[in-house]
Structure 1
Amino acid sequence: MSQHVLVTGGAGYLGSVLCEHLLDAGYRVTVLDSLMYEQGTLLHFAANPNFDFYKGDARDEAKIKSLLKDVDV
């Protein structure tokens, strides 16, 4: 069973590069991003069964708590 990682800001440059490396290494990746600046950087991950995306703000405590229930890191 692979580890499940939450990446906040995953649509930005650093976040999208991190997501690519994590997915290539076999991790399950969930991204939370508001898409304020970037919108297309994650499209090529959409078909990957180990990738999930949620639009939202990392300052939303309820959203973060909900997502953290299902992740390891």
Structure 2
Amino acid sequence: MDRSDVVYVLSAHPSVLWLIKVSCVVIGHIVAVVAAHDRALRLLTRRHQISGQLAMMLTMVGHTFLGLYLLFGG
């Protein structure tokens, strides 16, 4: 096989490809939310820690759904 040949291994297994894509989107957003939550706890005053994270939570939920919608061809 030549180095320039493309190997379409995942095309033969669309369910595995689907699982990898969905896992990457969901895990990536969970990691981002945890990192943002830790950062918000350090930066925000105690009084604003809950209310200051509501917008972030709603935004990340929206991004997750939008990412999955775009992933599956809308």
Task: Report the TM range for the smaller structure's normalisation.
Answer: under 0.3
Q: Which has the higher contact order (CA 8 A, sep 6+)?
A: 1
Of Structure 1 and Structure 2, the greater strand share is in 1
TM-score (norm 1): 0.28
Which protein has the larger Cα radius of gyration, Structure 1 or Structure 2? Answer: 2
Structure with bigger helix share is 2
